[in-house]
């Protein structure tokens, strides 16, 4: 297929800057698409760090002010891969300039910001996507397929965990590169927006809208030094840990737990769904597998089966290697990007768009509010999956 060029302007050269750059470089090598991303310009404030990044990944030019990037006529897509407190202003300016907008998760610092961003992309009529990349783990896409095929029947329970352990030391500072996650003024929240946003997005996609939540949060380390000014200490305003109960609109019950204080857990993102006819279980640390229990089989062969999600019949896998050869974390971004590029050809909006991510943001807000009020809070989700 001959490809139309799509000029990308990427903001941020960190973790996601690398993951997205890799996706832009690889996507047309594996997917047959009508559009081909061009790595037109990378943007961040620190020129001395941006230049080697741009050279390494093949970005054609650099900008040190995101406003200048948005003003450029030769940019079609603004890709937001910088900290959460910048998403709102950049996304709205980009939409008003008529650019397509790809935004990292969480959509925003809070739902009010997320709503303004959603209205901006919708009013401008520009294609938009939020990088909830875990939907593009083939095993999670397969879980969605099994649920949609009715193999689980009526769903009773959803059980999600997202556990890490990297902030246990009181010596970890807050603010600055990577560690902006610990600074509430930049991150908006702690594990709720950073980790549970992923779990909530997956849950809304698989099960449907959440009706209400009741939550508890804790900040175990109350004060941390600033990364960029080690002599200055500042109170910690983020939630280090969060657990909440939820009721889905379809009547299913859920538990969600997240922390950065689960010693030994590096990035354990799991969920289990229990339905009338069967169950499924997923763990990101075994991302190429989906556990499936089918109660419709004869009694004497009941048991959990492990599906190795590498066959050509599995989501996305016909684009990758031969059966039995697993793909990894970076491929989820390539799969997501392929879906976005395909949507430009089909005209069918890619999911999750800003409006879908707004539903997740609303659940996050309700969770944080509930932790304060110590009562149930309404989640304001749409009825259906996002
Ligand atoms: N989808 C996922 O699984 C996933 C994983 C990690 C992070 N994220 C999200 O991606 C975003 C970035 O996170 P990260 O881990 O890449 O952070 P990071 O700290 O590794 O990188 C952030 C980048 O933003 C740049 N930046 C900061 N202020 C800027 C400004 N004013 N103008 C331009 N650039 C600026 C920094 O220079 C840096 O290059 C966050 O919203 C985060 O929540 C998503």
- Which atom of ligand 1 is nearest to 131's Cα? 1
Is the pLDDT reported for residue 385 higher than 70? no
Determine the residue of 9, 10, 13, 16 to mutate for testing ligand 1's pocket, defined as the one with the most ligand atoms within 8 A of the Cβ atom. Answer: 16
Q: Considering the chain, tell me which residue range(s) the CATH 3.30.360.10 domain(s) occupy.
A: 136-378
115-143 tens-digit pLDDT: 999 999 999 999 999 999 999 999 999 99
340-373 tens-digit pLDDT: 999 999 999 999 999 999 999 999 999 999 999 9
Strand partners for 32: none
* Average pLDDT score, the chain: 97
pLDDT of residue 382: 74
172-221 tens-digit pLDDT: 999 999 999 999 999 999 999 999 999 999 999 999 999 999 999 999 99
161-171 tens-digit pLDDT: 999 999 999 99
Cα(63)–Cα(42) distance, integer angstroms: 6
Cα(77)–Cα(8) distance, integer angstroms: 5
- Interval between CA 115 and ligand 1 midpoint (Å): 21
pLDDT of residue 384: 56
278-308 tens-digit pLDDT: 999 999 999 999 999 999 999 999 999 999 9
3-state percent helix, strand, coil for the chain, nearest multiple of 5? 40, 25, 35
Percent of the chain with pLDDT over 90: 97
Q: Considering the chain, tell me which residue range(s) the CATH 3.40.50.720 domain(s) occupy.
A: 4-133
* CATH number assigned to the domain covering 4-133: 3.40.50.720
3-state DSSP call for residue 140? helix
Is the pLDDT reported for residue 1 higher than 80? no
Give, rounded to a whole angstrom, the gap between the first and last alpha carbons of the chain.
Answer: 31
Is domain 136-378 given the CATH code 3.30.420.40 in the classification? no
pLDDT of residue 386: 62
- Interval between CA 14 and ligand 1 midpoint (Å): 6
Give CA separation, 24 vs 20, 102, 155, 331, in Å: 6, 12, 37, 11
CB atoms < 10 A from the CB of 234, how many?
17
If you average pLDDT over residues 70-90, what whole number do you get?
Answer: 98
Cα(77)–Cα(83) distance, integer angstroms: 18
Confidence of residue 3 (pLDDT cuts 50, 70, 90): confident
- Interval between CA 86 and ligand 1 midpoint (Å): 9
- Which atom of ligand 1 is nearest to 53's Cα? 39
| Strand order from edge to edge, sheet including 61-63 | 61-63, 35-43, 4-11, 77-80, 100-103, 128-130
Strands 35-43, 61-63: pairing is parallel
- Which atom of ligand 1 is nearest to 19's Cα? 16
pLDDT of residue 381: 78
- Interval between CA 374 and ligand 1 midpoint (Å): 32
Give CA separation, 8 vs 20, 36, 39, 235, 263, in Å: 11, 10, 5, 38, 39
Q: Which residues line ligand 1 (CB under 6 A)?
A: 11-17, 43-46, 66, 81-84, 86, 104-105, 131, 133, 177-178, 180, 194
Is the pLDDT reported for residue 383 higher than 70? no
Report DSSP state, residue 104. P
Instruction: Kindly report the pTM of this predicted structure.
Output: 0.98
Plot region of 178 (φ>0 → left; ψ -120 to 50 → alpha; else → beta): left
- Interval between CA 187 and ligand 1 midpoint (Å): 10
Q: Higher model confidence: residue 114 or residue 2? A: 114
Minimal-distance CA residue to ligand 1 atom 27:
82
Cα(41)–Cα(147) distance, integer angstroms: 41
Determine the residue of 15, 179, 260, 330 to mutate for testing ligand 1's pocket, defined as the one with the most ligand atoms within 8 A of the Cβ atom. Answer: 15
Cα(101)–Cα(341) distance, integer angstroms: 12
- Interval between CA 85 and ligand 1 midpoint (Å): 10
Minimal-distance CA residue to ligand 1 atom 19:
178
- Interval between CA 83 and ligand 1 midpoint (Å): 4
């Amino acid at each position: 297929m001959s490809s139309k060029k799509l000029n990308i302007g990427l903001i941020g050269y960190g973790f996601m800057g690398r993951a997205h750059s890799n996706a832009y470089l690889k996507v047309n090598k594996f997917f047959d698409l009508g559009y081909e991303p061009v790595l037109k310009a990378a943007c961040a404030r620190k020129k001395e760090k941006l230049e080697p990044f741009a050279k390494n990944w093949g970005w054609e030019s650099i900008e040190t002010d995101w406003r200048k990037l948005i003003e450029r006529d030769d940019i079609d897509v603004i890709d937001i891969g910088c900290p959460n407190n910048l998403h709102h202003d950049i996304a709205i300016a980009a939409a008003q300039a008529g650019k397509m907008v790809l935004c990292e998760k969480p959509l925003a610092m809070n739902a009010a910001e997320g709503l303004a961003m959603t209205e901006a992309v919708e009013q401008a009529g520009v294609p938009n996507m939020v990088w909830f990349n875990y939907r593009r783990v083939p095993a999670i896409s397969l879980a969605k397929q099994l649920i949609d095929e009715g193999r689980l029947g009526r769903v009773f329970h959803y059980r999600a965990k997202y556990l890490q352990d990297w902030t246990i030391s009181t010596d970890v500072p807050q603010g600055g590169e990577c560690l902006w996650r610990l600074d509430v003024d930049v991150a908006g929240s702690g594990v709720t927006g950073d980790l549970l946003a992923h779990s909530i997005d997956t849950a809304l996609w698989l099960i449907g809208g959440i009706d209400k939540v009741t939550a508890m949060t804790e900040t175990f380390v109350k004060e941390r030094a600033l990364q960029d000014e080690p002599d200055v200490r500042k109170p910690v305003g983020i939630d280090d840990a969060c657990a909440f109960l939820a009721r889905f609109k379809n009547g299913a019950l859920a538990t969600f737990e997240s922390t950065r204080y689960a010693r030994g857990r590096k990035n354990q993102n799991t969920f289990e769904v229990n339905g009338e006819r069967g169950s499924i279980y997923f763990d990101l640390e075994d991302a190429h597998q989906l556990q499936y229990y089918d109660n419709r089989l004869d009694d004497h062969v009941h048991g959990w089966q492990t599906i190795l999600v590498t066959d050509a019949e599995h989501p996305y896998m016909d684009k990758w290697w031969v059966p039995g050869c697993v793909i990894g974390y970076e491929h989820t971004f390539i799969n997501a990007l392929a879906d976005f590029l395909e949507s430009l050809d089909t005209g069918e909006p890619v999911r999750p768009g800003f409006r879908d991510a707004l539903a997740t943001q609303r659940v996050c807000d309700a969770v944080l509010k509930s932790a304060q009020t110590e009562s149930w809070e309404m989640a304001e989700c749409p009825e259906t999956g996002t």
